[in-house]
Amino acid sequence: MEYNWDFSAVYTNWYLLLIGLKNTIILAVICLVLGLFFGLFVGAARYSSKRIFNWPATAFVEVFRNTPVLVQIMWFFFAFPIIAPFDINAFTAAALGLTLNTIAFSSEIYRAGIQSIHKGQWEAAKALGMNYLQQMRRIILPQAIRRMVPAFMNRAVELIKMTSLASVIAYGELMHQAKTISTIAFNPIEMYTSVALIFFVMIYPLALLVRRLEVKTKVRS
């Protein structure tokens, strides 16, 4: 079957795709920053030997790591307002789902990075009279972060792709804009091909950077 490709609707509505791209980047950046920040505390709690910290952190991680992100986003958008005294918009629901999921996964990256530090480093820090927080801040985390960077970059790549899930609750990110245009112009092949190319151009440099960082990390170790 011969098909005549027609990208005129893509050219005509480029500004709508640009708005979607901007919203995609905003959502991804906010979720990544918040996810990495709070993930550090959850990861430290997971590593703690005290049950009062370890058990709640473990429960949080298992819930958000073992349920689909799409379900989380839809729960916050459709179910949460039923039990809460206020409504939340599509951006807030998407941000909550993606951020909490990122916290869960990044906390495991932090925990694994901390565990990778040799026990002798902890003992040396204790010998210098440092408490737990000082050990983490001055000795352990500076070494562990270097090993975590490739994993964090991989998480950023995954997060950018997952922002497309926000389209199901009508948040105006790139995928939702493309869906709206294709519905009007009846050109899903050209529109979704264009969106795929935009995501590829945005993500591929990050993927290359991840590979280079992984190689450097292996060489140093």
Distance of alpha carbon 38 from alpha carbon 141, whole angstroms = 15
What whole-number distance in Å separates Cα of residue 131 and Cα of residue 30? 32
Are the C-beta atoms of residues 168 and 73 closer than 8 Å to each other? yes
pLDDT at 129 over 90: no
Q: Considering only the C-alpha atoms of the chain, give the largest distance between any 2 of them, rounded to a whole number of Å.
A: 76
- CATH pick for 8-220 out of 1.10.3720.10, 3.20.20.140, 1.10.730.10, 3.30.499.10: 1.10.3720.10
Cα–Cα distances (Å) from 86 to 42, 72, 76, 169, 195, in that order, read 27, 18, 12, 17, 34
Asked if residues 117 and 146 have their Cβ atoms less than 8 Å apart, the reply is: no
> Which contacts (CB < 8 Å, 24+ apart) does range 65-70 have?
65/101, 65/104, 65/105, 65/108, 69/97, 69/98, 69/101, 69/162, 69/165, 70/165, 70/168
Residue 210 vs residue 104, higher pLDDT: 104
Gap between the terminal Cα atoms of the chain: 55
Q: What is the mean pLDDT of residues 123-142?
A: 81
84-105 tens-digit pLDDT: 888 899 999 999 999 999 999 9
Does the structure show a pLDDT above 80 at 132?
A: no
Extents of the domains making up the chain? 8-220
Residue 112 has pLDDT above 70, yes or no: yes
The two structure tokens encoding residue 219: 């060489």
Segment 172-185, tens digit of pLDDT: 999 999 999 999 98
Residue 143, pLDDT above cutoff 60: yes
Look at 134 and 216; give whichever has higher pLDDT: 134
